[in-house]
Chain A
Amino acid sequence: MISLRKIWTVAERDIRMFLRYKFLLIMRAIWFVSQIALFGLVVNRMFRPDVQTAVGGNYFNYYAAGIIITMLYSTSVFIGYDIYEEADHGVIEYLLSVPVSRKELVLGRSIGGGLRSFLYVGPMMLFVLYLIGVSSFLQLLVALLSLFLFTFGVAGFSITLAVSIKSSDRFDILMGVTDALIVRLSTTLYPIAFMQYYAGIASVNPLTFAADLFRWGAGIESTALTPPLLAVLGIVVFFSVFTFLGIFLHERRLEGGGWQ
């Protein structure tokens, strides 16, 4: 029987630990400001009128919404690096000895990893919503609930990879390559209609679902967006797969050491 209280205890620990990563928190915040105040403003003037129409009239709003999803993704995956940090210091063995089941541990870590990302990006999200304007609070609520699931799914994805690989160097390389590709092969930066060779991959990318859902929630009217129902379904599938995969692998791979 899974205890919600224990899951919350694990999640709360991960949320508190996040505040120690000052380098990440400060650099990501400055990156966000520079994207909105510098890159986004200039790049907005680079595109053809048909592109501006396709993205709902203003590429800057489209781009700002996408940046939020990039931030959510990049801060959620950090839980995987936490696991290696803990393996280095012998904390994994300590966690396995506490009266918390393996399932509760991985669920707590997924929720903690996702929730802390959401809390950190929250103020930036509010700022972007203020810039874009919100036309329907119900749509926005649906979008935000889906983004919650998205962050949990990303945390679960990172945990799954971390316990599967058990080598910090290989994990670093794999996450670096994945990060580079997953963001650029999605609609966080540009609509799928202009992605030509990459449109197929982008159409099944969970960041595409999250970005287009957030834009729909904020009221950006664009024919370029993924239908919201499809996007919600995509996020639910992503969350389910990586949460359950995370639980399965965590139970089988976490014991026995072997961390490199």
Chain B
Amino acid sequence: MVSMNLADLFIMAIVYTNMVNPTITKEYVSYFVFFAPGLTITALFAAAFMIGREINMEVRREISHYMLSLPVKRWELAVGRVLAGGLRGIIYMAPLLATTLIITYIYTSVFPSLLQLLTIVVALFLISIGTSGLSIALAVSTTSFEKYITARGVVYYVLFFCSTVFYPMDLIKSALPQLIFIAQYNPLSCGADLSRAFLLGNPPFTPVMLIDIALFALIFTSLAMTAYMKVTQK
């Protein structure tokens, strides 16, 4: 996955920079600089989403029953699983965030202030645990492997591609106007745009980005914990 993320940045983004209409990315220096924060989000999302597959396997094979025999309370188990998924995303994303900070500094000579950096990290952490929660909620929603994979795939790729990770919001508005609602409130869009707001100055930061991310984390963490505790008791 690391090689794929780095290849996306240092090969695909560089080639796309030679092809992209400059009027689309002039606010962001170039497509390469625009994409770098988005890549951080994709890495975080992919890593945090993985936990669902493991939990689905545990539920299908009833390994969760063994987990209940451990001297750990149910809510502690649920919180631990959601947190673990979130931390995975953060740990995996950290070197890519560092790479993004270096790249944006080289191209813009701007380094975010401590408060801005902290806001980015907190936002990314919230996206990570929200993603982990979403993945766990999906994983425990069905014991049918085929239904789980299908639901997982649809949610994963819709969130992934219907976001501003790869392209600005204006392009999504013109190409996929039917999906603009998803793109605007997609936590990946909010995370990517929040990072760009502090690293590149565009798009402008709005509190809605943080509120969206916080709500996403709250809703799916709660849902995942409730669903996980319920399923492990069956």
Most chain-A CB neighbours within 10 Å: which of B19, B149, B162?
B19
Range of interface residues on A (Cβ < 8 Å): 35 or more
Chain B, residues 144-158, CB within 8 Å of chain A (1/0): the string is 011001101110011
- Residue contact B20 to A48, C-beta cutoff 8 Å: yes
Min C-beta distance of B5 to chain A, whole Å? 8
CA A195 to CA B13, docked complex, whole Å: 11
Q: Which of B153-177 contact A (CB under 8 A)?
A: 153-154, 157-158, 160-162, 166-167, 171-172, 174-176
Interface of B is mostly: helix
Q: Are A23 and B149 in contact (CB under 8 A)?
A: yes
**Which residues of chain B are within 8 angstroms of A83 by Cβ–Cβ distance?**
none
Given contacts A184-B11, A190-B15, A196-B14, contact A45 B157 (CB under 8 A): no
Closest to B5 in A: A180
Interface magnitude class on chain B: 35 or more
Question: Which chain B residue shows the least CB distance to A197?
Answer: B14
Give 18 new A-B contacts, CB below 8 A, not counting A42-B175, A46-B31, A48-B21. Answer: A22-B149, A23-B145, A23-B149, A29-B153, A34-B160, A41-B176, A42-B167, A44-B175, A45-B171, A46-B167, A47-B19, A180-B3, A180-B6, A181-B3, A184-B11, A184-B12, A189-B12, A194-B15
Residues of A that sit less than 8 Å from B by CB: 22-23, 26-27, 29-31, 33-35, 38-39, 41-48, 51, 176-177, 179-181, 184-185, 189-190, 194-198
24 contacts between A and B (CB under 8 A): A26-B150, A27-B152, A34-B157, A34-B160, A34-B161, A38-B158, A39-B161, A41-B175, A42-B166, A42-B176, A43-B166, A44-B175, A46-B21, A46-B31, A48-B19, A48-B20, A48-B21, A180-B4, A184-B8, A184-B12, A190-B19, A194-B15, A194-B19, A195-B18
